[in-house]
């Protein structure tokens, strides 16, 4: 459903009226397209404090010019990884205060920090301060611009993350803190088709967000397996045929779902995306047991069972990626969704616990995306005023698109994202609640 308020605020009368009334003024977001794959403008690289990061080679591969940034930069990268005390934080203000207003609409600000040093509480305090700074700047910067914090120790390990955050692909990701670990083995890849030669399975992929994820992974070169319930087999086959993939009609709640997936993929699997999910909303006092059970079974129990089965069977190859779908409702909670919130918070727990073991034992990373208000057929059916509140209650003052979740999933599935593990990335436009 079209966002008529967003369209109205783009007109002269709309700008005048919303400004006078103090209403949100969302800016149209620049998203990725084959014709415009990069932000348009230069990249300004700043440093606060001393840094050992060798960023120049990485930033040169973002598609943004780093030589001539006179005028209005499309992106600013502030390296604050060397700050170790409160006094050093003055450098953050000194670096960004003069330039933040000049960043173009739909531009990017990325702050680089270091992991917190458990042996140095002054460093830990200063580096944690960057998180509050980043989230606050994201809520005030406006004009479709985003602000994110990346904690890292190795610039090369963060290349896929920086390329994502400094591109139109991350249009609805803001106010996030992403930790990048030690670099994994080098992953040779075609930059235009990084998933070439890889197989990706997406559950709940016959429509909506799952279909968008399947499309994006196929665009990036993957052979996609479109899994959905038997009742949606016709839609699943339509999507699979269009993408040159394979349809797999299967109920993921079946006890043998993992074994059946393994049998259908004897050559193995590289990317597993847990997208299938249901809602059965009702306040707890009015919620019958079957509504609770169905949501927990589809959204959480099936994810746990199939993940365990595919890892145990060795179906997920080394270098593989698991991307689960959490939700802002599992982070901040939502009235009428105790079942849904519980299931999606459970996904977060799964990611945080399994990620280090899956990497150590199987060479597989485990991450999650946590969507906020995304424009789908489901949200189009929400009553008008609730829908409008969902759209406006984030720093970008608008709903996201299925493509926003898909692009984030594709970044986490990227062969060069081996150093991104155990992360829950909110695709919510920086929701004003819980993010």
What is the token pair recorded at 87?
A: 């006094």
3-class DSSP state of 429:
coil
Residue 332's nearest CA partner among 279, 394, 396 is 394
3-class DSSP state of 261:
helix
Distance CA 244, CA 7 (A): 36
248, 226 contact by CB (below 8 A)? yes
Residue 39 CB-half CA count within 13 A: 34
Distance CA 164, CA 170 (A): 6
Spell out a b/e string for 231-254, using b for 16 or more CB atoms within 10 Å of the CB, else e. ebbebbbbbbeebebbbbbbebbe
Q: If you write DSSP's letter for every residue of 190-213 in order, what string do you get?
A: -SS-TTTT-EEEEET-SSHHHHHH
What is the token pair recorded at 212?
A: 């968008």
Distance CA 108, CA 137 (A): 12
Q: Is 5 a catalytic residue?
A: no
Residue 219: CB atoms within 10 Å: 17
Q: Is 367 exposed, middle or buried (0-12, 13-18, 19+ CB in 10 A)?
A: buried
Specify the pairing of strand 269-274 against strand 424-427.
unpaired
Residue 204: CB atoms within 10 Å: 26
305, 253 contact by CB (below 8 A)? no
Cα torsion at 293, 380, 148, 435 (round to 10°)? -50
Q: Please name the helix (run of DSSP H) or strand (run of DSSP E) that holds residue 45, with its range, or none.
A: strand 43-47
Q: Which residue out of 340, 351, 405, 413 is catalytically annotated?
A: 340
Residue 251 CB-half CA count within 13 A: 8
Catalytic residues: 340
């Amino acid at each position: 459903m079209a966002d008529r308020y967003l369209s109205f605020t783009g007109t002269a009368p709309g700008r005048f009226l919303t400004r006078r009334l103090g209403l949100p003024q969302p800016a149209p977001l620049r998203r990725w397209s084959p014709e415009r794959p990069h932000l348009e403008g230069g990249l300004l690289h700043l440093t606060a404090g001393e840094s050992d990061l060798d960023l120049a080679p990485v930033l040169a591969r973002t598609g943004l010019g780093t030589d001539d940034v006179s005028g209005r930069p499309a992106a600013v990268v502030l390296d604050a990884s060397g700050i170790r005390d409160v006094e050093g934080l003055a450098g953050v203000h000194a670096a960004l205060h003069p330039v933040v207003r000049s960043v173009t609409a739909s531009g990017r600000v990325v702050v680089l920090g270091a992991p917190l040093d458990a042996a140095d509480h002054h460093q830990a305090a200063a580096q944690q301060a960057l998180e509050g700074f980043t989230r606050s700047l994201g809520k005030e910067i406006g004009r479709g611009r985003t602000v994110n914090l990346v904690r890292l120790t190795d610039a090369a390990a963060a290349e896929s993350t920086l390329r994502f955050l400094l591109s139109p692909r991350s249009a609805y990701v803001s106010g996030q803190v992403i930790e990048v670990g030690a670099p994994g083995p080098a992953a040779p890849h075609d930059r235009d088709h990084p998933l070439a030669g890889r197989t990706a399975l997406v559950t709940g992929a016959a429509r909506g967000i799952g279909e968008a994820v399947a499309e994006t992974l196929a665009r990036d070169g993957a052979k996609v397996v479109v899994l959905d319930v038997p009742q949606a087999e016709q839609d699943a086959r339509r999507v699979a045929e269009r993408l040159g993939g394979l349809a797999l009609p299967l109920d993921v709640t079946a006890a043998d779902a993992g074994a059946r997936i393994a049998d259908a993929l004897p050559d193995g699997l590289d990317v597993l995306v847990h997208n299938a999910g249901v809602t059965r909303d009702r306040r707890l006092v009015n919620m019958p047991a079957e509504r609770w059970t169905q949501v927990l079974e589809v959204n959480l129990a099936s994810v746990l069972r199939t993940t365990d089965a595919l890892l145990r069977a060795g179906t997920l190859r080394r270098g593989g990626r698991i991307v689960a779908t959490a939700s802002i409702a599992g982070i901040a909670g939502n009235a009428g969704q105790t079942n849904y919130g519980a299931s999606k918070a459970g996904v977060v727990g799964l990611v945080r616990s399994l990620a280090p073991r899956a990497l150590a034992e199987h060479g597989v990373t485990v991450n999650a995306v946590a969507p906020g208000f995304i424009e789908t057929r489901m949200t189009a059916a929400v009553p008008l005023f609730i829908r409008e509140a969902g759209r406006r209650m984030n720093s970008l003052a608008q709903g996201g698109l299925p493509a926003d979740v898909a692009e984030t999933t594709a970044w986490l599935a990227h062969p060069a994202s081996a150093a991104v593990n155990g992360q829950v990335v909110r695709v919510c436009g920086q929701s004003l609640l819980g993010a």
